Amino acid sequence: MTAAPAAIQTSGLTKRFGRQTVVDGVDLDVPAGAVFGFLGPNGSGKTTTIRMLLGLANATAGEITVLGERMPGTLGTVLPDVGALIEGPGFYPFLSGAANLARLDAADGWAPRATRRTRVAEALDRVGLTQAGGKKVRAYSLGMKQRLGIANALLMPRQLIVLDEPTNGLDPQGTREVRGLIRSLASTGTTVFVSSHLLAEIEQMCTHIGVMRGGRLVAQGTIDELRAAGQATLHLTVAAPDARLAVRTLAPLGIVVTTAAAPEAQAAEVAPEAAGDTALAAPFPDGLPPEHVVAALVGAGVRVRGVAVDRPSLEDSFVALTGEGFDVVQ
């Protein structure tokens, strides 16, 4: 795997529909072997980006490299190594699940006919559709179709698998299974590019994340980088009379108490005679070991009743990046 080229790279990727810019100067960088979560609210341009990556839609501007090859010039040689689920499953309702897979497999000029039956059966098995494989797709639930769509992406060994909102329509059990499937793909070295509008659904399995908002890629990096990017917060609970002392002790450490969680205690203006505990909160500087803070407080005679340093959840960062309320951006 030495110096494997990036699985996906784009620079300035842009798509306009009429006067609306739907994808706007996106510079994706998906390293080989990554599980890349492509996050963004509905309408943020995820599917449109994926269509351009796979040569279904033409980019208005920008460049695309997939598996080290410039697209769309080399579609015919790159796409056999790419499995994809794009904007939901698409199947012939009048054919069985297995017949649908065989049909799409027959369209792939590189897929050997001799092994088709076995590969179809294996793909159905991997998504738990062995029992339903002979049923007409007309009779499938949305979740079953979604599974069949994923099975289609797995018909051949792939280097890159692109899954656009794979957990749509799946029950919690199905969602867990998809996560397991993605993990098992990743463990064999396959790069997985998975889009979602729900961070929680994919957070646990991603190594990298890119966040789309209104057609722009507003953040991209490893999941740890994105976690670290958020400001940590110190939560401190002290005996109420010691609150002012605590604030004074923290100041030289670079910790400025901005909020006191207890409603009766306004920041540093804490009533010294108030009984009970006072909760204080402050932005916590990076790189400062929390135990130093505790030592300083105890040394100054502050009765520390509780201390915690919170990293914002990725969820919070995601909401901060994409905007509250998940409004569909026009």
Partner 1 sequence: MSSSDPTAATVRSPRRALGWGFFLSELGVLFRRRRTQAMLGALAAVPILIAVAIRVTGGDGRGPAFLDRISQNGLFVGMTALVVSIPLFLPLTVGVVAGDSVAGEASTGTLRYLLVSPVGRIRLLVVKFASAVVFCLAATLTVSLAGILAGAVLFPIGPVTLLSGNTVDVGEALLRALLISVYVALGLVGLAAIGLFISTLTDAPVGAMAATVVVAILSQVLGQLSQTELLHPFLPSYHWLDFADLLRQPIDWSSFAGNAWLQLAYVAIFGTLSYARFATKDVLS
Ligand X SMILES: Nc1ncnc2c1ncn2[C@@H]1O[C@H](COP(=O)(O)OP(=O)(O)O)[C@@H](O)[C@H]1O
User: For the chain, where are the E strands, in sequence order?
Assistant: 8-17, 20-26, 29-30, 35-39, 61-66, 69-71, 82-85, 160-164, 191-196, 208-213, 216-222, 232-239, 259-260, 277-284, 304-310
Please report whether residue 213 would count as binding ligand X according to CB under 6 A.
no
Name the binder of 93 from partner 1, Mg ion, ligand X, none, CB < 5-8 A by kind: partner 1
Q: Are 156 and 123 in contact (CB under 8 A)?
A: no
Contact partner, 147, from ligand X, partner 1, Mg ion, none, Cβ < 5-8 Å per class: none
Q: Rule CB under 8 A: say whether 56 interacts with partner 1.
A: yes
Contact indicator for 187, 33 with CB cutoff of 8 Å: no
44 forms part of the interface with ligand X (CB under 6 A): yes
Cβ atoms within 10 A of the Cβ of 50, count?
23
CA 190, 53, 3, 204 dihedral sign is: negative
Nearer to ligand X by C-beta: 88 or 283? 88
Q: Which of 9, 14, 47, 100 binds ligand X (CB under 6 A)?
A: 47
- Total residues interacting with partner 1, rule: CB under 8 A: 48
Nearest residue to 38 (alpha-carbon basis) of 201, 175, 176: 201
Among 10, 26, 29, 43, binds ligand X (CB under 6 A): 43
Per CB under 8 A, does 121 bind partner 1?
A: no
Structure token pair of residue 258? 């901005």
**Which tokens is 7 given?**
């699985």
Residues 48-67, mask of contacts with ligand X (x by CB under 6 A): x-------------------
Q: Does 47 bind Mg ion (CB under 5 A)?
A: yes
Report how far residue 174's alpha carbon sits from residue 172's, in angstroms, rounded to the nearest whole number. Answer: 5
Binding test (CB under 8 A) with partner 1, winner from 64, 71, 104, 186: 104
Closest-CA residue to 159 (of 266, 279, 87, 78): 78
DSSP assigned state of 312: P
Residue 87 interacting with partner 1 (CB under 8 A): yes
Q: Determine, following the binding rule CB under 8 A, whether residue 57 of this chain makes contact with partner 1.
A: yes
List 13, 23, 28, 82, residue binding partner 1 (CB under 8 A):
82
Say whether residue 45 binds partner 1 (CB under 8 A). no
Q: Nearest CA to 26 among 42, 8, 10, 44?
A: 10
Least Cβ distance, residue 57 to ligand X (angstroms): 8
Q: Which is nearer to Mg ion, 38 or 91 (CB)?
A: 38
Q: Which amino acid is at 167?
A: T
Partner whose footprint covers residue 44, from Mg ion, ligand X, partner 1, none (CB < 5 to 8 Å by kind): ligand X
Pairing of strands 259-260, 191-196: unpaired
Reading the block at residue 272, the tokens are 């010294």
Cβ distance to partner 1 smaller for residue 35 or 247 = 35
| Separation between Cα atoms, residue 235 and residue 244, nearest integer Å | 15
Which range, of 23-31, 86-94, 121-129, 275-283, touches partner 1 by CB under 8 A? 86-94
Strand order in the sheet with 277-284: 259-260, 277-284, 232-239, 304-310
Minimum gap (Å) between residue 210 Cβ and Mg ion:
14
Torsion of CA 252, 255, 256, 258, to 10 degrees: -160
Minimum Å distance from CB 61 to Mg ion?
Answer: 21
Residues counted in the chain: 330
Catalog residues that contact partner 1 under the rule CB under 8 A. Answer: 1, 4-5, 32, 51, 54-58, 67-68, 75-76, 79-82, 84, 86-95, 102-113, 115, 152, 156-159, 189
Catalog residues that contact Mg ion under the rule CB under 5 A. Answer: 47
Catalog residues that contact ligand X under the rule CB under 6 A. Answer: 17, 22, 40, 42-48
